[in-house]
Structures are given as C-alpha cells and as structure tokens.
Structure 1
Amino acid sequence: MWLGPAAALAASAVVLIGVRYAGAGGSGTVDARIGAAVAGTVPRWRRAALAVDFLGEPAGAAVLVLAAVALCLVLRRPRAAVLAVAGTGLTVGATKLLKPLVGRTIHEGYLSYPSGHTAFLTAFALVPALLAARRLGRAAGALLVLSAALVAGAVMGWAQVALSAHYPTDTLGGWCTALAVVPATAWLIDRAAERAAGRPARTPTG
C-alpha cells in the first residue's frame, strides 16, 4: 500500500529537517526567500491569515474536530470519528514532543519546529481524504489524499509565515508530521477494529 512508504518518507523528512535546524534561532536561506515573498501578501490578506490561524488554535481546532466527529457518527462511520480525534490529537502531540527535542526558536525563545498549526490542519484534511480514497482506484486515491494534504498544509503554512509565527521550514515539518502520523493511526484503527470483528484489516479507515 502506498500509504506506508509515503508515511515513512514524511517521517524521514521531519527528522532530516529537524537535524538541519536543531538549536537554530533564525531563518535559513530558503526561509528568508520564501518569507520575503509571503510578506508581500500580508497587508491585503492579514485578516484571512488570522482567520486561518484560528483554525489551528485550541478553540478553532476543537470546533472542527467536534463537527467532524458529529458528521462521522451521523454517517455511521465510527472508525472515521475515532480517526478524526486520534489522528489530529496524535499529530499535534508529536509536534509538541519534537519541539523541545529540536530546539529551534523564533522571536527570542519560542519553540517553532515543527509547526503544530500546520500539522493539525493537514491532519484534519487527511481524514475525509482517506475515507474518500478507499472508493477510488489506487492512483486516484493517492492523488486525492496528497492534494488534500497539500492544500491544507499550504494554506495554514502561508498563514503562519505571513503572521511571522513560524519559519517556512517549520511549516514543512508540520506538514510532513501529519503525513507520517495520520496514515499510521488510520492503519492501527483499522487493524484493531478488524481484529475485533474477526476480519482482515483494511486501509484506509472506513
């Protein structure tokens, strides 16, 4: 299944970027260039950036997850409801564990790598994408999942860089964290559910 290699590749990227910027307290060359380009969008789109940023705050994230859980239960997709909670929760938890390990800082001491906001929105977008992917062919399903992750990660990543909350590579790390954690979580949920039902495991979650 392509999800396994994709998750492994994403996890490797998280580690490599983390090692590259471990203990750093400033932006690298790539960060500076991307940051300069994004800065030009701030005056006109600051309110939009703040609105997107709110989705990654505890209150905004809770609203999104609760709404997703309610919808999944209405549609009789209990495993999807579990994934909405566990996938996003474990992803954000992973970023919180990684931050002190990497030790990269922004604004005089705030831990910045990887971006929890970017990781959360990417993880949240992966839940419906994984559900829809199982109804499609392998290629179409992979394209849908990666597209959903890319759009969510890019939108939140832009907001974080525009608001100077993170370096661009922090957001990339957050995006990769979600791609590593959510598929693994979906696989574990499916495996546990199918074992309990005495049937072979299926992925992604349904």
Structure 2
Amino acid sequence: MTGRSAREVLPRSLRGWLGLIAALAALVVVVLGVLYADDSKPGTVDARIGTALDGVGTPWRHVALAMDFLGEPAGSATLVVAAVTGCLLLRRPRAAVLVVAGVGMTVGTATLLKSLVGRTIHGDNLSYPSGHTAFATALALMVALLATGLLGLGRTAGTSLVLAAALVSGAAMGWAQVALGAHYPTDVLGGWCTALAVIPATGWLVDRTADRLVGRMADAGRRERR
C-alpha cells in the first residue's frame, strides 16, 4: 500500500463498486421522490410495514427512542465529535474532514429534498427522505471506510464491510423511525439511499481536494529549494 493510498478516505479498490451503488441509490431517491411528491398518505407497502412495526411496546419503545435521540441535534453532534476525535487520534485528518463534510452534505441534501418533494406526515411535518436514517447510514459508511483503509482490506472485503455497516445502521435507525411513527418506510428507504449516494461522492471530493493541496505544497517546496 502506497503512502497516498493509505491516506485516501475512498480507497481506489472500492471506487468502482461504490460509484455504481451511489448512482443506483440516487436513482431510487429520485424515483421515490417523484412517486410521493406532495403526498400525505402512506403507500400500500408503507401501510403494511407500518402496521407491523408501529406502536412497539416496552422495552422496544425505549430502544427506538434511544436510536431516535442519536439522530437529534444533541445526539448526532456527540457522535460526530467522537468520530472526528477518533480520526485525529488515528492520524487520519482526511477521514476527520470526511466526517464533517459527509454529515453536512448528507443532512443538507436530505433537508433540501424534503422541501422539494413536499411529502408530509402527521400534518405539515415534511417526511421524505428520513434525515435520521440518512445521518445514521452516512456515519456508519464513513467509519467503515476508515476501517477499510486502516485494515488494508481489498475490494471484496472492503465493499462487504461498507455495505454491511450501511445496512445495519440504516435498518436500525429506520426501524426506530417507523416504530415511533415518525416516518413512512419509503421515507426510510429514501434516507438510506441518500447517504449511499452522497458519501462516496463526498469522499472522492475530499481525496481530490487534499491531493491537489498536497501537490501545490510540494511544488512550492521544490521552488523554494531552487
């Protein structure tokens, strides 16, 4: 593994597969957004899944509330600070930048889509896509990318780890949102796909920007030595 590849937040071996997944995820987000634009009722699939999960009792409701808190401002800020601190302790500044930029881009995209799609739940509460699910999935994706780089995993193992992390985190937060009646199941799917679409693109952008800055600094150093 070269010095450059060790610093990358989006390993080159994963870029092809994650790029394809990101494109497919973006397509799903758009299709669902068009289908449920300005809607205020659950679809057929939403109704079936929602009926099965809605109104969970103790102790599962407490678990769902705890999961929901992690997506709220106080909980999410705590997780982001912990993740950034861990990246810096591991001497992975690019990963720390990705955490901040990735969360900002994912949550910002979800917020923008809510306004554009206009789907509502419980009155005027915008619901598509689920910001909580998008945040949880994005953070898990970034942690998995960091682990892939640290462990030097190849394409198959690295992709499997990243997708497993996204699936587990998205499913856990999505279950909590549906169980608490905060979102429709298709809102959760949209939030999950939003993170899958945004994080690979953000990782590529962080790597590209960092490489350019390093290149400029190296050129400046060579000029000074002449």
Does residue 10 of the first structure (1) align with residue 25 of the second (2)?
yes
Looking at CA atoms only, which structure, 1 or 2, has the larger radius of gyration?
2
1:194 Cα offset (Å): 1.3
Match of 1:64 among 79, 89, 99: 79
**What secondary structure sits across from 1:119 in the alignment?**
helix
1:3 Cα offset (Å): 1.3
Match of 1:136 among 128, 134, 153: 153
**Which structure 2 segments of 5+ residues have no match?**
1-15, 217-226
C-alpha separation in 2, matches of 1:103 and 1:65: 28
C-alpha separation in 2, matches of 1:68 and 1:194: 23
Deviation readout 1:112-155 (Å, 9 max, x if unpaired): 00000000000010111112234211111111111000000000
Spell out the pairing of 1:157-196 with structure 2 (5 A cutoff). 157-196=174-213
Paired-residue identity, %: 69
Spell out the pairing of 1:79-158 with structure 2 (5 A cutoff). 79-134=94-149, 135-158=152-175
C-alpha separation in 2, matches of 1:58 and 1:95: 15
C-alpha separation in 2, matches of 1:133 and 1:30: 35
1:40 Cα offset (Å): 6.2
Q: Is the 8 A contact 2:80 2:99 kept in 1?
A: yes
Q: Give the match for residue 198 of structure 1.
A: 215
- How many pairs were matched up? 199
Q: Is the 8 A contact 1:42 1:162 kept in 2?
A: no
C-alpha separation in 2, matches of 1:171 and 1:8: 18
Aligned residue identity for 1:26: K
Match of 2:93 among 78, 103, 106: 78
CA-atom RMSD in angstroms: 1.3
C-alpha separation in 2, matches of 1:33 and 1:23: 21
1:74 Cα offset (Å): 0.9
Q: Is the 8 A contact 1:21 1:102 kept in 2?
A: yes
C-alpha separation in 1, matches of 2:76 and 2:118: 25
Normalized against structure 2, the TM-score is what? 0.85
C-alpha separation in 2, matches of 1:158 and 1:45: 11
C-alpha separation in 1, matches of 2:31 and 2:161: 26
Match of 1:55 among 70, 90, 93: 70
Normalized against structure 1, the TM-score is what? 0.93
Q: Is the 8 A contact 2:55 2:180 kept in 1?
A: no
**Which structure 1 segments of 5+ residues have no match?**
200-206
